[in-house]
Amino acid sequence: MSMPASSSSGTLKIGIIGFGSFAQFLAKTILKQGHTLQATSRTDYSELCCQMGISFFRDTNTFLEADNDVILISTSILSLSKVIKSLPLNLLKRPTLFVDVLSVKEHPREILLQALPEDLDLLCTHPMFGPESGKDGWKDLTFAYEKVRIRDEATCTCFLQIFESEGCRMEEMSCEEHDKLAAKSQFLTHTIGRMLAEMEIKSTPIDTKGFKTLVQLKESTMGTSSDLFSGLFVHNRFAKQELEHLEHALHKVKETLLQKKNQERVATENEQ
Ligand SMILES: NC(=O)c1ccc[n+]([C@@H]2O[C@H](COP(=O)([O-])OP(=O)(O)OC[C@H]3O[C@@H](n4cnc5c(N)ncnc54)[C@H](OP(=O)(O)O)[C@@H]3O)[C@@H](O)[C@H]2O)c1
């Protein structure tokens, strides 16, 4: 395998755009593997980056001029379009691999294909875990990706290796397939977690295992940002239907219970 331009040791120079909680979580493992990181973000993370051994750029021009093998996009789903439009991509010195880690996939694929010049490669990914579920390592956690436009296979393979070498289950699939499946799984999970938070469920002295799972679900869901949750709905065209399925299911369950209650009442009245 030929090595990426900046390195002959198989390590990459990766520039991160959007250094929020998920990027910080990814950065720890990427650094541990010996890659070099740079970052830029709306908020000033200079101090945190300095502690972690990452160069932080307030100015996106200087960030783009720095010679990165990979640009890793970890902004919120809702801000992606604005962030990408504000990037002076003409300042990139050479073909670079763009990777996004957004929790929806058709949307960044479309935005990035529109914005990136032809000579930039694009890998759309979704690590299906976060700071909570991945706190004890990434082994057996799923990493979904689509190689949208890859000419420099060596850099792409080297990037995927970051997740493969941690033991992730690598799932190559189209962005469309990802969004269909994620609406039925991840979006549903977050929606139920948010509903449980609306209900303010809390542990009781007599929790069953099932209820403990619900409390955990509520807590882990509320650990993610409301922007992330909104993004899962706004920019996944399959999510609306799942929300309707959920409403319909609650309605059916309620109807069945009320019918039962009615039957019981009639039976009791007939016995008397
Ligand atoms: N958390 C997870 O478990 C998880 C798992 C897989 C994938 N992801 C994806 O990773 C990305 C980051 O997620 P997250 O958990 O860190 O939280 P998030 O709320 O989805 O995104 C926070 C990031 O977006 C940036 N941002 C938000 N609004 C912005 C704006 N108007 N202009 C410029 N930048 C803006 C923030 O920048 P500043 O910090 O500089 O303000 C921060 O870097 C998301 O796309 C999410 O879908 C998250």
Atom of ligand 1 lying closest to residue 224 CA? 1
Reported pTM: 0.95
Tell me the per-residue pLDDT of 194-252, one tens digit each, with 9 for 90 and over: 999 999 999 999 999 999 999 999 999 999 999 999 999 999 999 999 999 999 999 99
Residue 75 CB less than 6 A away from ligand 1: yes
Question: What separation in Å is there between the alpha carbon of 16 and the centre of ligand 1?
Answer: 12
Quickly name the fold that domain 9-173 has.
Rossmann fold (3.40.50)
Average pLDDT over residues 129-155: 97
Pair of tokens at residue 94: 């050479």
Residue 18 CB less than 6 A away from ligand 1: yes
Atom of ligand 1 lying closest to residue 130 CA? 3
Residue extents of the structural domains in the chain: 9-173, 178-271
Note the pLDDT of residue 1.
Answer: 42
Block residue for tokens 């007939």: 270
d(CA 184, CA 236): 11
Q: Identify the residue whose C-alpha is closest to ligand 1 atom 27.
A: 76
Note the pLDDT of residue 10.
Answer: 86
Atom of ligand 1 lying closest to residue 232 CA? 47
Residue 15 CB less than 6 A away from ligand 1: no
Q: What percent of the chain is predicted at pLDDT more than 90?
A: 95
Average pLDDT over residues 55-80: 97
Q: Identify the residue whose C-alpha is closest to ligand 1 atom 30.
A: 79
Q: What percent of the chain is predicted at pLDDT more than 70?
A: 97
Pairing outcome for strands 55-56 and 121-127: unpaired
Note the pLDDT of residue 2.
Answer: 45
Pick the CATH number of 178-271 from 2.10.25, 1.10.3470, 1.10.530, 1.10.3660: 1.10.3660
Q: Identify the residue whose C-alpha is closest to ligand 1 atom 32.
A: 79
Q: Environment class of residue 137 by beta-carbon count within 10 Å: exposed (0-12), middle (13-18) or buried (19+)?
A: exposed
Question: What separation in Å is there between the alpha carbon of 138 and the centre of ligand 1?
Answer: 20
Residue 146 has pLDDT above 80, yes or no: yes
Atom of ligand 1 lying closest to residue 102 CA? 45
d(CA 195, CA 189): 10
Note the pLDDT of residue 93.
Answer: 86
Residue 77 CB less than 6 A away from ligand 1: yes
Q: How many CA atoms lie within 13 A of 35 on its CB side?
A: 28
- Complete edge-to-edge strand list for the sheet that includes strand 36-40: 55-56, 36-40, 13-17, 70-73, 97-100, 121-127, 142-149, 169-172
CA distances for 238 relative to 109, 148, 152, 188, 244, angstroms: 16, 21, 32, 11, 11
d(CA 18, CA 7): 24
